Chain A
Amino acid sequence: MKPTWCPGCGDFAVLNALYQALAALDLDPKNVVVVSGIGCSGRLPIFVNSYGFHGVHGRVLPTAMGVKIGNPKLTVIAVGGDGDGLAIGGGHFPHAARRNIDITYIMLDNNIYGLTKGQASPTTLQSFQGKSSPYGVAEENLNPIALALAYDVSFVARGYAGQIKHLTDLMIEGINHKGFSFIHALSPCVVFNDTYPYYGKKVTPIAPYENPSNKMRALELWQDKHHIFLGTFYKDETRQTFNERIRDIIGQFPRDDEKYFKELLNRYA
């Protein structure tokens, strides 16, 4: 099916990057599941030739977790908007992080609620005067990278719809990462809050000499007032994944259903 986004929408670039990443990784579509919530960005799974799950607003992470635990062999990619992931579904982000569930979460951040036509989202800048913020946004904006670092997500990166090749590389790295990987994808909404010009001036690659295992340095990078850094902020490859821990728990019990049923019932006899 052909994408239904507005011409020029950043989501096309993110989708393209995902196509290229999946192709480069040579993953069999039947073993890939793309899970999403609601929003313009939430439509993405419908345009990918793999298994997809387009659920309800904000619940992409627990749904993706269920899919990954349901079948650990699948490559599970969760996608969603900034509203989906930081507002309605904001409570799920820290828990996906602490479980270190082995999925890749791509947040398509357009700094706006696109599908509901232009209300402020948690990442909208205070200066933005829009339909739901005629006098500017009263709250300060959330920074997804800062949150991911604070939640101790084991892979944190940022890409930009204006740089598809780089975004593709980040996706490949994220999907290959063992554990929960978060990719903050700047994806401007050309209709309600066109941030291309703003990002165009501010995005800067993280220097190749920076060490992605240095959390303190990552925190410095996101706080930089003059640049919006693109690249891998942080990476910890030492942590066990949720599926591995579940596997270890299950692994203590050699399979013998009949025996366990008998033991279980005997407790009540």
Chain B
Amino acid sequence: MKDILVRIGGDGGEGIISSGDLLTMALARSNYEVFTFRTFPAEIKGGPAMFQVRFGDQTILSQGHQADILVTLNEEAFRLHHAALKPDGLLVYEPAHYKPEGSFEAYAVPLDEIASHGVKSAITKNMVALGVVARVLDLSFETLEQLIRERFGKKGDAVVAKNLEALKAGSEFVAQHPVKKQLPVFAPLESSHKHVVMSGNEALTVGAISAGCRYFGGYPITPASDILELMERELPKFGGAVVQTEDEIAAIASVIGASFAGKKAMTATSGPGLALMVEELGLATMAEIPCVVVDAQRGGPSTGLPTKMEQGDLNLAVYGAHGDAPRIVLAPGDVEECLYYMIQAFNLAEKYQTPVIFLTDQSLAHRTQTYVWPDFSRVPVINRLLPSEAELKEYDRYKITPDGISPMAIPGMKGGCYAATGLEHTEEGFPSFVPKTHTIMSAKRAQKIEEVSREKGFTARFGEKQAKIGVIGWGSTQGAIREAVEMAIQQGLSVAQLQLKMVYPLPEADLLEFLQSVEQVLIAELNYMGQLNQLFQSKFLIPTQTLTKCEGLPFFAEEILAKLKEMSGSAKAAAQGERLATHNR
């Protein structure tokens, strides 16, 4: 696999996200596979921001750690990012600001002068830089021109013209001052499949709409807000309603109300919002009402790291409730899975009439990845079980059935009248505090979730069939672990990976099979305490090793590789992994 990594660093407000997005789209339209990564400040203006795109001729599994090209719009960006540049990489910098030193090729481009005097618009500096990068990468100018027209067209011809002029100026500068750096030459795969390039938030929103979600209630919070915004724009086209509620409690309450009335409904939030929703989630479990809650995790506890990633809400998602309140917790591994597993999330919620929490995180929410044009028939849509005419004759809402699932009447259905209640209740739905009732009904709710643990298709296995080391991960770490596993195998290590797309209940059969095929178990996750490891330990009493990281950043494949080497007995490699990790802050 060949790939190139470009990183752009500057201040929030200097337009690096915008030029990075354009670069990404241009690469995707040129049929490359892309994987982006960005960090941005929690402040609205100012503060360092970074955009990075890694692209290649095959699926890119992680954000990568060392840049081939680093563009810095100011000296601070150089200070922050030069360590992430390959020793023989290309640094694009502004000579009026500073003089960089290092083994890389320092390529001076008077960005400010070209923008201010050449283009006569200082704010087009980012476009000049984009022109430079596009020329160095030999990207099609027409593709970029088209993208700029699409993006800035609404702002008028003058804005489009200025941006195009800046792009051209950057490109021409390179034509006159050729770079020495030789980049790997490779053509994108000739692809018969049409591709899309989306963020995790975008993919899951599309997935939700295709699953039949027709009510969305939400309250803004980073990094979930763009789901609300996208829903506001798109859902009405499909006949759905969106409400920006007064808080997260109102959001989940309205979702449960809409679902009770027969609509597929969801909300999206981050840790602080999920914490507020916990009481209502218990209600949804008790009253057996389907609902889907996205938690795009960010660093916590409390307001924590609002713009950074962490896998820290597993405990909250799984256990956050009073009483025995079993629910389902899913964790997609990449952007494409955000779409398909969101359809699954609705399917499971509907089938088992229970809340489903969908755990992504800031890195997955905001990363963009290319994937094959969605095929919605891949995951057929499931709807809740409605009572038959005969069942409506003497309707029991919470009827005890072999699998715990009872037909759910919808208001408007004749004969189905019942009161959903958060109080413990009889099969008819009447409140009841008789000891036996609570036991039977608790068992009913627990049994449904047990059935879920037997659902197929919620793990993915990579690497060797029998291995010395088995790595277990969950959620957005899938690609980085997989890349590490592939590197480890190439270097002669014996490794396998099991990625969980459902973290509660644990997909037991797949896990047992995996455990039997490996000698040592490593659980890798992005939180301090090892939350999956604790959950795992409560189920399987076997020794595990953990690799945890709590820096607000995703895993780098090299860090995982170092741990695998350490487990295979090479301490030197471990030390190297640590060095790599400190490079990428």
In the complex, what distance in Å separates the CA atom of A54 from the CA atom of B424? 11
Residue A207 interfacial (CB < 8 Å): no
Of B217, B250, B280, the most chain A CB neighbours within 10 A belong to: B250
B196 touches A69 (CB 8 A): no
| B202 x A46 contact (CB < 8 A) | no
Are A55 and B253 within 8 A (Cβ)?
Answer: yes
- Find out whether the CB atom of A268 lies under 8 angstroms from the CB atom of B239: no
Would you list which residues of chain B between 192 and 245 have a CB under 8 Å from chain A?
194-198, 202, 206, 209-210, 215, 217, 234, 236-241, 243, 245
Known: A69-B215, A268-B202. A91 touches B247 (CB 8 A): yes
Q: Establish whether residues A268 and B197, one from each chain, have CB atoms under 8 Å apart when the complex forms.
A: yes
Which residues of chain A have C-beta atoms less than 8 A from B287's C-beta? 53, 55
For the complex, is B419 an interface residue (Cβ under 8 Å from A)? yes
Contact between A264 and B206, CB atoms less than 8 A apart: yes
Residues of B within 8 A of A68 (CB): 257, 261
* Contact pick for A66, options B206, B215, B249, B376, CB 8 Å: B215
Complex: chain A residue closest to B235, CB-CB: A250
Task: Give the distance to chain A from B365, nearest Cβ to Cβ, in Å.
Answer: 15
Among residues of A, the one whose C-beta sits closest to the C-beta of B291 is A66
**What residue of chain B has the Cβ atom nearest to residue A57's Cβ?**
B279
In Å, the complex CA distance between A30 and B280 comes to 25
Report the separation of the CA atoms of residues A257 and B280 in the bound assembly, to the nearest whole angstrom: 32
* A268 and B236 form a contact (CB under 8 A): no
Beyond A31-B411, A52-B420, whether A91 also contacts B238 by CB under 8 A is: no
Q: In the assembled complex, how far is the CB of residue B426 from the closest CB belonging to chain A, in whole angstroms? A: 10
Complexed CA–CA distance, A66 and B217 (Å): 9
> What CA separation (Å) do A34 and B261 show in the bound complex?
12
Q: Which residue of A lies closest to B214 (CB)?
A: A70
* Interface bin, chain A: 35 or more
The docked-state distance in angstroms from the alpha carbon of A94 to that of B202 is: 32
With A and B bound together, what is the CA distance between A51 and B287 in angstroms? Answer: 13
Interface check A22, CB cutoff 8 A: no
A59 with B249: CB separation less than 8 A: yes
Give the residues in chain B near A205, CB-CB below 8 Å. Answer: none
With both beta carbons as reference points, the residue of chain A lying nearest to B194 in the complex is identified as A269
Contact flag A54-B412 (CB < 8 Å), given A46-B431, A59-B250, A65-B257: no
A55 touches B246 (CB 8 A): no
B90-117 CB contacts (< 8 Å) to partner A: none
Q: Are A56's CB and B280's CB within 8 A?
A: yes
- Kindly state whether residue B421 has any CB partner on chain A within 8 Å: yes
Q: A70-B263, A268-B196 are in contact. Are A51 and B280 (CB under 8 A)?
A: no
Interface residues on B, range: 35 or more
List CB contacts (< 8 Å) of A28-69 with chain B: 29-31, 33-35, 38, 43, 45-46, 48-56, 59, 61-69
Q: Which residues of A contact B196 (CB under 8 A)?
A: 265, 268-269
**How far does the alpha carbon of A91 sit from the alpha carbon of B276 in the complex, in Å?**
14
Contact B412 A56 (CB under 8 A): no
What is the 8 Å Cβ interface bit string for chain B, positions 334-377, against chain A (1 contact, 0 not)? 00000000000000000000000000000000000000011010
- Please tell me if the beta carbons of B430 and A66 are within 8 angstroms of each other in the complex: no
Chain B residues closer than 8 Å to A94, beta-carbon distance: 246
**A70 CB to nearest chain B CB (Å):** 3
B420 engages A95 (CB within 8 Å): no
CB within 8 Å for A54 and B374 given contacts A67-B261, A253-B237, A269-B194: no
Interface string of A4-34 (1 = CB under 8 A from B): 0000000000000000000000000111011
Q: Are B279 and A56 in contact (CB under 8 A)?
A: yes
A260 to B467, CA, bound (A): 47
Q: Are A66 and B257 in contact (CB under 8 A)?
A: yes
Q: Digitize B403-422: 1 where CB-to-A-CB distance is under 8 Å, 0 elsewhere.
A: 00000011111111111111
Distance (Å) between the CB of A40 and the closest chain B CB? 13
Residues of A near B15 (CB, < 8 A) are: none
Interface of B is mostly: mixed
Complex interface: chain A residues within 8 A of B195 (CB): 269
Q: Smallest Cβ distance from A28 to chain B, in angstroms?
A: 8
Determine whether the beta carbon of B206 is less than 8 Å from that of A265: yes
Q: Are B241 and A69 in contact (CB under 8 A)?
A: yes
For B245, the chain A residues whose CB sits under 8 A away are 62, 95
Contacts of A74 in B (CB 8 A): 261, 411-412
Tell me which of A49, A51, A261 has the highest count of chain B C-beta atoms within 10 A of its own C-beta.
A51
Contacts of A1 in B (CB 8 A): 430
Most buried by A among B265, B376, B417: B417
List residues of chain A with CB within 8 A of the CB of B209. 261, 264
Tell me, yes or no, whether A255 is within 8 Å of chain B by CB.
Answer: yes
A70/B259 in contact, CB under 8 A = yes
Q: How far is the CB of B334 from chain A (nearest CB, A)?
A: 15
A201 at the interface (CB under 8 A from B): no
Q: Does A92 contact B (CB under 8 A)?
A: yes
**Residue from A29, A30, A49, A63 whose CB has the most chain B CB atoms within 10 Å:** A63
Chain A CB within 10 A, most for which of B197, B239, B280, B411: B411
Instruction: Tell me the minimal C-beta distance from B115 to chain A in angstroms.
Output: 29
Asked whether, in the complex, the Cβ of B257 is within 8 Å of the Cβ of A250, the reply is no
Using Cβ atoms and an 8 Å threshold, which residues of chain A touch B282?
56
Q: Are A66 and B253 in contact (CB under 8 A)?
A: yes
When chains A and B are docked, how far (Å) is the Cα of A61 from the Cα of B217? 14
Cβ-defined partner of A260 (8 Å) among B237, B249, B374, B376: B237
The distance from the CB of A256 to the nearest CB of chain B, in whole angstroms, is 9
Contact yes or no, B256 A55, CB < 8 A:
yes
Decide yes or no whether A71 CB sits under 8 A from chain B: yes
State whether A92 touches B250 (Cβ < 8 A).
yes
Tell which of B217, B241, B251 touches A250, judged by Cβ atoms closer than 8 Å: B241
Check if A54 sits within 8 Å of B411, measured CB to CB: no
Which of B374, B409, B415 is in CB contact (< 8 Å) with A265?
A: B374
24 residue pairs bridging A and B, Cβ less than 8 Å apart:
A30-B417, A38-B422, A45-B419, A50-B417, A54-B421, A55-B256, A55-B283, A56-B280, A56-B422, A59-B249, A65-B257, A66-B255, A67-B261, A70-B259, A71-B262, A74-B411, A91-B246, A92-B246, A249-B236, A260-B238, A264-B209, A265-B373, A268-B197, A269-B196
Taking A54-B431, A65-B254 as known contacts, 8 extra A-B pairs with beta carbons closer than 8 A to each other, sorted by chain A number, are A46-B419, A63-B257, A66-B254, A69-B261, A71-B410, A74-B261, A74-B411, A261-B210
Question: Which residues of B line the A interface, CB within 8 A?
Answer: 29, 194-198, 202, 206, 209-210, 215, 217, 234, 236-241, 243, 245-247, 249-251, 253-263, 265, 279-280, 282-283, 287, 373-374, 376, 409-423, 430-431
Interface residues of A (CB under 8 A from B): 1, 29-31, 33-35, 38, 43, 45-46, 48-56, 59, 61-71, 73-74, 91-92, 94-95, 99, 246, 249-250, 252-253, 255, 257, 260-261, 264-265, 268-269
